[in-house]
Structure 1
Amino acid sequence: QDEPGRLIVSWINVPFWNVAAPGYTGSNTFQLILNKQDSTITIQFQSCTGTTTSNGPVIGIESITGSIGLARTQSLMPAPGYAVRFYNPANPLLQVTDAAVEWAGVPGTGATNLTVGATLPLAVGLLNAGNQPLTSFTITSEVLSPGGQAVLTETVTVDSMQAGGNLEPVLAQAFTPAAPGTYRHRITISGVAGDLIATNNMMEREIGVYAPAVTGIPVSWAGASDDGLGLAWNGGDGGIGVYIIPPYYPCQITGTTIRITSNSGSNFNMKVYDDDGPGGGPGTLLDSVLVTAVNGGPGDHVYPLAGSNIQVTDGGYYVVWYMLGPNVNIAVDVLGPFSMQCHEVLGGAWAEYRARTTTDFHLGLRIEQPPFLDVGVAGLIGISNGQSISGPTTIQALVHNYGNTPANGFPVSYSYNNGAVVTQNYTGSNIAPGNSGVITFTQQLVPQDNSTGSLCVWTAAGTDVLNQNDTSCVGVNVQVGIVEQDGLRVRLFPDPAMDRLSVEGLPDGEARIWVLDTQGRTAWSTKLAVSGGRVQLDVGGIPNGNYVLRFASADRLLHGRFTVQH
């Protein structure tokens, strides 16, 4: 209870821990009273029963580092009604100069995650933990890359701080990562003369940076290594909880991840809780999976959720590993930076993990983008760049599912040279994420003239999220070939031609002839009179290559193709 003049913390009927069933013994009721007016500290005991298996109880006070303190009793059980009060001397007997980093990033220095290219504002909280005022000193804010190089550095001067005071100096520079990995935001205090405690002059906050992936990414605070031993609670009735902040929103949770160092035959649970409990703590149980010992052996594991994927728009989630028997060990990471996001879960009671400043656990969530449709054409089948098409041709294309949900029933179209559009729905088997299917158009591409252009195939799904991968095109040469009408049989020879090209089977009369290159440009043309159904053309001045001959008379339009090779 927090009153204007004092803060009272009460422990009521708190037992000692015991490895034997039911896991506890005895009962203890006592209070800690912190007086805000006279700075006294009072500890009073109503009752203490039972036997402790640890080195206690110890009654006393000490500094935040444990290097200075006053012990009243040790290993003696206090009698009912016993109380002890510690007084603050009117004239301090010890002058303490101590500047401290109280937190980095956020109060509590809990780690956070973000994506490549996102911007994270940086912040710091300072504390004058001594009883002497502080004059001007310096803080340095750095962001270190996964390799330990500084990618951001800012120096701020603090003019002064009163004893016991707090300060949040403004950091102007924000962090925008360019590559994924584990970064650390480091705050360092320097320039404090006579600083009694140097260990609180530096603090680091872990920052995880991820690149979003369609197929999912494991998100945890642990690094690649572990201590090889792991952690298990005596008696086999305990667990570890880790608070995970997704690197991006919206997203979906599809599973839990864990590394087991050893397992002598015990099952365990993997659970996910929302952070809608009191003070942002674990609240609603969203998913629970029973993992048998057979499926929970040593190594890294990903366990799909028992229910539907959890759709995430904000906030964080607690993932819990809970033992259902003895001698199953979760892997422990003892190399910094550390997340400060780990909890111990014993008998259903949660608490910050006792060694959270030096420990992380290989426990996390599998996160991917929310369900989305993204289909596109990966390429045409049987038609390549530069290919000639001279007759009715069936168009086939490979359509790919770039999204993360099965795809079917979406429209696919093709068109040549921005001409008529042919559309047909894909109705084959469902295309799983990351896989492809084949669509065969029932309407063929029929050449209408001689030209060169782009043959394009594209998808047009209504909810497609990315249109840059929808279309695939190839450049083709469309050639009609000789048209034979009314029994006319037209022949071009020799093919290839060197200097002269003969054309037979033409209708007599006035006509015009064009020679077109593969780009549709006129390479040569002439007017002439056909007699005897035959003409001879001079192609000696035309460069080597493939050409289309176009013949037009009063009532005929004929096309043919040939090659010039000098």
Structure 2
Amino acid sequence: MSRFVWLSLVLSIALVFASFTSSPAETWEDDCGYFAIDSNESGGPVFEWVDISDVGEEVTAGLQDDNFIGPFNIGFDFPYYWYTVSQFWIGSNGYVSFEPGLLAQPMPAIPSTRTPNNFLAVYAADFIFNDIPNSPSKCYYYHDTENGRTIISFEDVRCWLQEGNQGDHTFQIILYEDGTIVYNYREDEGPISNNSISIGIENITGDTGIQNYFGVQPPSNYSIEFRYPEEIQCEVHDVAVEWALTETNQGLFSLVGQENPIYVSVLNTGTEPETNIEVEVDVLQGIFLDPTDYRDQIQTIDALEPGESVLLTFEGWVPEVEDIFAAYIQVDMSGDEVPANNDVFSEYSAVDYTGGATLSFCDDTNESSISWIGGEGNGMAVGFPVPQPTKVNAIHFFVLPGQEGATTFRGRIYDDSGEGGLPGNILVEQTLPMTTNQNGEWVTMDVSDENIIINDGAFYGVFVQDGDDQIGTDQAQPISRRSYEFIGAFSPYRSGDTDDVMIRADVELGEFATITGTVTAEGSGDPLRARVWAEATDGSVVQTRAGEDGAYTLIVSPGTWTVYAEFFGYAQFVSSAYTVENEDVITLDIALESLPNGILQGNVTDLQTGEG
């Protein structure tokens, strides 16, 4: 919902809705050959609600306010534009998507290359599932195998409104095996916040889609049917940086002196086979302040089929000082028609744990601030992935007072045991004093006596409102994409591509052990830049890549670990289990056995780079 306060934008948002609302037609089509027709038109669908409330899987508990859940299996390969999808995510704001992403107020016009893309906006509006105890809002999905379809239903859903949540909106999506899509609207009672409504479909690139309704509510007892083209009529040449560093393009922390390989996934999002795709990685230090090109590498992908992705590994770099680094990844292909998805900035901050460190994705200047209207108990969060076992000593919040005069806010630390690594358990909560400084200032939550140890994964610093108090946001590049909204549930921050929430953490080295050695070729003794990783009995994984001299080091928490190594053309190495305690140092030299000619073993990265 648009509960966050950017006072200077309120008028402009209202003008957007007034200027660009569009009344629905009765038939629509797009450049790729999709044809849509509604139940008011001769030859259109007949409205028929499919009740799945007794047979479907209820997923209401996961839906809150401005969040999404998934993935769920469609149950068959569903043809959508020129590609097929097999999974979907459900958004609390009345949409289904084929990749994770949040649609929130103001709802986008369709099509738009601004992310997220690749969705079915059956009724994208500011709905809410957790507004009151025993909320009537429900959501179900059901695989109707007998009729070759999957149904997702939103029932009795209320709309968030500043004057009080209300309404009764019931609608559903039906996906058929032949690619047909049906939107059904059973009841539509009550207003929508700011008339922020978008109904339609949009493809993976965001440059093609159908807008059925924008700023206008659909009628009750009404249907829209989208018919899959007999032949896809559009020809799209497009490749994209699917992700870099992590599968969600999120920032990381690196230790000073530690080598950092860069992983990049490139996807052919077009309709045609493509060749000769250049992928360039620049590692920049002091980005947008006094940037230094720390490393520049290029790899070429010879061929990529539509819908195919390839994972590349670029040689790592070793940061020598604490500073902000960013990996800037760009793809270059002749004739690429969608440049908006050709590059990604991913933040990589180097920290030195000697004597303690501060984990931060922001600077000291806030360009804006956020507060949820009527949002007492809601807030914002930042995730901190740890590069090694870590003790958390303090969390710092850059806060600003609101108009209501709240004198406190709450600070929390969560672990990452929630679904998909989201915040799970509260490790500590404190009530903190709100500043009276209208320009904002840092307020510290001291947890040094709480003995909070994070061995791997991430922890979260969370700001919780006690009124209309605010937290600052930083828009200086690079952006970490590690900020989250907390409105009863956690979800990625809707402005997370452009803003970092201003929360920091003071940490020091936790208990750890070291596994170190070299990787060489058996017989010759030549060093190998192999991928080396250790897996604990609880499923934790720590990985690295051996250097030019074959040397590697793994920093692990106390426990039992098994070490693995692989390099293209060599058999995978698996060690016996090692049980380590704090400050143990295990030396493990690894000799990889060459595979016979004609036998290849390795991962996708190996096949692209010749490395493990």
| TM-score band w.r.t. shorter chain | 0.5 to 0.7
Tell me by how many angstroms 1:172 deviates: 4.0
Partner of 2:76: 4
Distance 1:70 1:122, change over 3 A: same
Q: Does 1:79 align with 2:219?
A: yes
User: Quick one: distance in 2 between partners of 1:236 and 1:349?
Assistant: 13
- 2:293 pairs, out of 108, 133, 150, with 150
- Higher relative contact order, chain-length normalized (CA < 8 Å, sep 6+): 2
Contact kept? 1:222, 1:333, Cα under 8 Å: yes
Structure 1 stretches of 4+ with a deviation exceeding 6 A read: none
Partner of 1:271: 412
Partner of 1:208: 349
* 1:72-471 correspondence to structure 2 within 5 Å: 72-146=212-286, 147-168=290-311, 170-190=312-332, 192-214=333-355, 216-227=356-367, 229-237=368-376, 238-247=378-387, 249-264=388-403, 265-266=405-406, 267-293=408-434, 298-305=440-447, 308-326=450-468, 328-346=469-487, 348-370=488-510
1:338-391 CA-partner distances (Å, limit 9, x unpaired): 111111111x1222111111111111222123489xxxxxxxxxxxxxxxxxxx
Task: Return the index of the structure with the highest Cα Rg.
Answer: 1
Q: Does 1:17 align with 2:17?
A: no
Question: Which residue identity is paired with 2:345?
Answer: E
- Name the Cα RMSD after superposition: 2.7
User: Quick one: distance in 1 between partners of 2:473 and 2:205?
Assistant: 25
Contact kept? 2:205, 2:269, Cα under 8 Å: no
Tell me by how many angstroms 1:69 deviates: 2.7
1:421-463 CA-partner distances (Å, limit 9, x unpaired): xxxxxxxxxxxxxxxxxxxxxxxxxxxxxxxxxxxxxxxxxxx
Distance 1:56 1:263, change over 3 A: closer
User: Quick one: distance in 1 between partners of 2:435 and 2:316?
Assistant: 47
Q: Percent identity?
A: 26
Question: Which residue identity is paired with 1:4?
Answer: F
User: Quick one: distance in 2 between partners of 1:226 and 1:122?
Assistant: 30
Gaps of 5+ in 1: 373-463, 466-566
Distance 1:167 1:13, change over 3 A: farther
Contact kept? 1:289, 1:306, Cα under 8 Å: no
Distance 1:19 1:292, change over 3 A: farther
Contact kept? 1:250, 1:311, Cα under 8 Å: yes
Question: Which residue identity is paired with 1:276?
Answer: S
Partner of 2:51: none
Tell me by how many angstroms 1:63 deviates: 4.3
User: Quick one: distance in 1 between partners of 2:212 and 2:261?
Assistant: 46
User: Quick one: distance in 2 between partners of 1:256 and 1:49?
Assistant: 45
Tell me by how many angstroms 1:220 deviates: 2.1
Contact kept? 1:144, 1:150, Cα under 8 Å: yes
User: Quick one: distance in 2 between partners of 1:176 and 1:274?
Assistant: 29
1:160-205 CA-partner distances (Å, limit 9, x unpaired): 111122221x324012211111111111111x22211111111111
Q: Does 1:48 align with 2:191?
A: no
Partner of 2:555: none
* Paired residue secondary structure (1:174): strand
Question: Which residue identity is paired with 2:497?
Answer: T
Aligned length: 366
1:459-499 CA-partner distances (Å, limit 9, x unpaired): xxxxx99xxxxxxxxxxxxxxxxxxxxxxxxxxxxxxxxxx
Under a length normalisation based on structure 2, what TM-score does the superposition of the two structures give?
0.56
Tell me by how many angstroms 1:306 deviates: 8.9
Tell me by how many angstroms 1:65 deviates: 5.9
* 1:452-531 correspondence to structure 2 within 5 Å: none
Partner of 2:540: none
User: Quick one: distance in 1 between partners of 2:310 and 2:221?
Assistant: 41
Distance 1:314 1:203, change over 3 A: same
User: Quick one: distance in 2 between partners of 1:136 and 1:370?
Assistant: 47
Distance 1:173 1:371, change over 3 A: closer
* Paired residue secondary structure (1:54): helix
Tell me by how many angstroms 1:44 deviates: 3.0
1:475-533 CA-partner distances (Å, limit 9, x unpaired): xxxxxxxxxxxxxxxxxxxxxxxxxxxxxxxxxxxxxxxxxxxxxxxxxxxxxxxxxxx
Tell me by how many angstroms 1:81 deviates: 4.4
Tell me by how many angstroms 1:314 deviates: 1.4
User: Quick one: distance in 1 between partners of 2:410 and 2:436?
Assistant: 12
Distance 1:46 1:341, change over 3 A: farther
* Paired residue secondary structure (1:230): strand
Contact kept? 1:288, 1:306, Cα under 8 Å: no
Q: Which has the higher helix share?
A: 2
Tell me by how many angstroms 1:320 deviates: 0.9
User: Quick one: distance in 2 between partners of 1:281 and 1:13?
Assistant: 28
* Paired residue secondary structure (2:260): coil
Tell me by how many angstroms 1:4 deviates: 2.1
User: Quick one: distance in 2 between partners of 1:211 and 1:302?
Assistant: 21
Tell me by how many angstroms 1:64 deviates: 5.0
User: Quick one: distance in 2 between partners of 1:64 and 1:124?
Assistant: 19
Distance 1:62 1:345, change over 3 A: same
Tell me by how many angstroms 1:250 deviates: 2.3
Distance 1:111 1:34, change over 3 A: farther
Contact kept? 2:461, 2:504, Cα under 8 Å: yes
* Paired residue secondary structure (2:340): coil
Distance 1:75 1:199, change over 3 A: closer
Tell me by how many angstroms 1:239 deviates: 0.8
Contact kept? 1:31, 1:45, Cα under 8 Å: yes
User: Quick one: distance in 2 between partners of 1:199 and 1:79?
Assistant: 35
Contact kept? 1:287, 1:307, Cα under 8 Å: no
1:109-128 CA-partner distances (Å, limit 9, x unpaired): 11111110112221011111
User: Quick one: distance in 2 between partners of 1:31 and 1:150?
Assistant: 51
Gaps of 5+ in 2: 1-71, 79-86, 91-151, 513-581, 584-612
User: Quick one: distance in 1 between partners of 2:464 and 2:437?
Assistant: 12
User: Quick one: distance in 1 between partners of 2:361 and 2:414?
Assistant: 17
* Paired residue secondary structure (1:135): strand
Tell me by how many angstroms 1:40 deviates: 3.7
Tell me by how many angstroms 1:287 deviates: 0.6
Contact kept? 1:33, 1:41, Cα under 8 Å: yes
Tell me by how many angstroms 1:43 deviates: 3.0
Contact kept? 2:392, 2:448, Cα under 8 Å: no
Distance 1:33 1:173, change over 3 A: farther
Greater alpha carbon shift after TM alignment, 58-67 vs 231-240:
58-67
Distance 1:31 1:209, change over 3 A: farther
* Paired residue secondary structure (1:279): helix
Tell me by how many angstroms 1:256 deviates: 1.0
* Paired residue secondary structure (2:193): coil
Distance 1:296 1:49, change over 3 A: farther
